[in-house]
Structure 1
Amino acid sequence: MSKLTDILQSIRPESDFTQSSDFLEDGLLDSFDMVTLVSSLDQAYGISIDGLDIVPDNFKSIAAITALLGKYGATE
């Protein structure tokens, strides 16, 4: 597993994030989980995600989160 999927599994261990293309629409993450996810990503990757980037589209899939991490120079 990658660091990102490990983080997602730590937030919602019962969910299979690899099978979803929209975590929020599919009910895998809610707004409280997003706050936890942002904090976990900041800590794990040594970045600080700007508040303007904390929008559902940036957290709806592994690909979207990976792209957001890339914007901040973090690599998987």
Structure 2
Amino acid sequence: MEELLEILNEVNADVDFASCESLIDDGILDSFDIVSIVGELNDAFDVEISPVDIIPKNFNSAKAMWAMIERLQDN
């Protein structure tokens, strides 16, 4: 999870990823941020985030992203 937070802070250092639970719902992250995050997560965690996975539920918080990464690593 620490590595995830480091990656997210590199993408957008102005966001408190550790506590925010509405990154998508509140428009904090835009589509460019999501594309950047997906690329970084694919590389860092050796997963493949497909278009099916790119939904608000999976990107509203760092905790949700971490759950998605763990699920994808188990597949």
Normalized against structure 1, the TM-score is what? 0.85
Name the aligned partner's letter for residue 24 of structure 1: I
Aligned length: 74
Aligned to 2:45: 45
1:64 aligns with 64
Q: Residue type matched to 1:2 in 2?
A: E
Q: Is the 8 A contact 1:23 1:61 kept in 2?
A: yes
**Structure 2 unaligned regions, length at least 5:** none
Q: Report % sequence identity.
A: 35
3-state SS, counterpart of residue 52 of structure 1: helix
One-letter amino acid of the structure 1 residue matched with residue 48 of structure 2: S
Name the Cα RMSD after superposition.
1.6
In structure 1, list runs of 5 or more residues that go unmatched. none
